Structures are given as structure tokens and as C-alpha cells.
Structure 1
């Protein structure tokens, strides 16, 4: 199979699936290495496809027409990460990403796509398992989250909850 055809098939697979697909699964399906799939995904993104990575694999972003997003600047310790994530998802919002401003590299962004306590726990479990540092470690705990809510009232409830717990950097 030619590379362009493979990328079309990868895109079709992502669009037709509501759950994440890991690169290893795509590599097996198309009889290529995982690194080839990573490169294919990068080329698809560069072509404008809205593919994002989650801890469980790749997905197409499928935002609803009425979704409301907001960028919230937060600050907290590593130990408070679970409470911050729970606060956001318990209000009915999704944590789309985390962004930090690095003094050398500029804006650094990581996709999170966390919309439930289970997904928050999976993220934190992977954080502990891999002994990785949070991006906010680079900025003394200050970071930005893009959140998605079904409406403005849900977004406002999330902002209020984060403010009450002292997680908003104001």
C-alpha cells in the first residue's frame, strides 16, 4: 500500500471510531512500524486534520456546535492535580489540554482530553507509572487549561469551583 493511501485509510479509521486507536494497532493493521504511523499522523495534522493524542491513543476531535471553550490560568502543586482535574470534570467540563510558557521554547502544549474521574485517574496513574514530570513543573505550577463545556453556565460553574479551591491564578 502506498503511503498516501495508507494515510487515507488511517483517517477513515479514526473518523469511523469513537474510541482511541493506539499507533501500535494501526501499525499492525497496515504492516508498518509504529514510527511510520506517528509520521503519518503528523502529516495528517499538518494537512489540517484535527487528530489529537490521548493516553489511550489517537482520535478525531468531534466538537459539538454548541460547545463553549475557555482558557483558564491555574496554579497548584503536583499533589493537588487530582483535585483540580476532578473539580473540572465534576462540573461537567472536559480538560482539553495543558499549556505552559517556557522561557526558551515558548508555548508548550500537551493534549489531555479528560472528561471524567476515570480518565483523570488513568492520566495520573500513567504519570506515576512513567515517573514523568507535569509540564507545570517548568513554570512553578502555573499553567493554562483549555476546557470545553456544553454551555456558558457549565463553564461558569467550573470557573467558580476552581476559584473557590484556589486553583485559578488571578
Structure 2
């Protein structure tokens, strides 16, 4: 099997973005989403963002204008957008909004091939520094995921949130 097949069969993975290392899975696979929440000891109601497989996917599922997409994607930004259907991906974001990204990096090609959104959450635990290289990641966490994709040292800043067209640094 290849990476895309592994994802479609529920793999949980560590991967590089254009900012920091992330923890991900197929966002439509509820069992894998729950595993990520458990791995991160994450509050079940805290929303997570997704890496979208394409701009067209974002337009299909979220209310957004082309100008905003052209300005920020691909790049180190997470757009907080209103979902067209509030029930869509409700296990990731139970309210009517969804954080979406398209990182400016090679990994994005795998997301496009998979044709499904991937969960994107930092691989660190709350309060710990962001992981910019694989050696920064907790070894117990590495042992619990199915796949680790390393590409060396990354930029080190989390993505900038864009809410209502305004940038919010984290």
C-alpha cells in the first residue's frame, strides 16, 4: 500500500507543513479523529482545522470569496470560514465554522491525491514548544502513530489565523 491508501484505511501520521510538524489523519474517518484527540489529550469539544485537498473543496464546503483564497492560499495561514452545512465535519468543529489550510509545501500534493481533508493540529502537547524537527516530538507519541514523514527542520511558527479577513497571530 502507498501513503494515500494508508490514509484512506485510517492511518494517523506526523507530517511537515510550511510552518511546523503536524499530527493528522483523514478528517472524515471518525475513529482516526478520535485517536488524535486521545493522543493529544485534547478536549473533545475543542475544534480542529483541516488541510483541504483543493481550493475547489473549500468553495464546495465553506462560504468564502475568491479574493480571500487568492490572498492567503497556499501559505502559512488558517482561514476560519463559515461552513455551508453546519453538520459537515461536526466531530472536528461542532459550531458553524471550520479552519482550513493549504500549506505551501510538497506535502500538499499528497493531500490533493487523497482527495480528502486531513486533520491538521500541531504535534506538540499543550504548553510545549512547537516541533520544528522530528527530534522535537515526544517519542511516546511517535510510537503511537502509523507513519512519520520527516523533511528536516521547518520554519517554526504556527500558521496565522485569518478570521473575517483579518490576520490574528498566534
**TM-score normalised according to structure 1 size:** 0.28
**TM-score normalised according to structure 2 size:** 0.28
Larger radius of gyration: 1
Greater relative contact order (Cα 8 A, min sep 6): structure 1 or 2? 2
